[in-house]
Structure 1
């Protein structure tokens, strides 16, 4: 009986601690996210000040659009409404159009060597993201 009680207390304590940590986590503003991304890119690609100034508005636009889409998805999920096939197509098409435009701008701003490094970075990031999604799907199917 003592063991069961101890396990129960530990489980409740762990749950409360985890929830508190999630609530304490403050979201960064769009400007903060933009600045951090530009700094990371500067370190990885050796950007000049002029290139940083050219990239900053692109990153800000991208972060704002991502935040807007995330907010819409969260609201849709909360309401229990699922997008239709046409809505999903429109969303995915918009994302791909934005990605094409962003890539073209990056190619215009960066020199050949920097752009090559940027492509490698983007590929690694995409691979990491797809592995996370795959793991998430696998975990969700196991729970069912």
Structure 2
């Protein structure tokens, strides 16, 4: 079951100034990170357009009849599925200009991040889900910075 969709950006790549548009979906069985198409974001003003199109396609994707993240990632282009048991640690930290960044370290050593504005990511839903699924592997460092 899809619990939350958080619109944000991944790390900067290529000519992107603020990061590549990315959507983080929180399912019962794990997280799915979905990247926007590079072609959409390269056009002038395309970053914002890519983010809006990504969010709309994610909403439509919820209608694909998938109940879990693994199924969703299997039928969605440019997506990464992270089962909760493969996440070694996740840290939520304060970013620049009011943004927040969720840094994820996987068991196989990959480091992934998802930066978002609180307007786009309802913390009242996201924080209890991450705390419940990850337990002590999840840390909220925003209050200490």
TM-score tier, shorter chain, comes to under 0.3
Q: Please, what TM-score do these two structures have when normalized by structure 2? A: 0.26
Considering fraction of residues, name the structure with more strand: 2
Q: Please, what TM-score do these two structures have when normalized by structure 1? A: 0.26
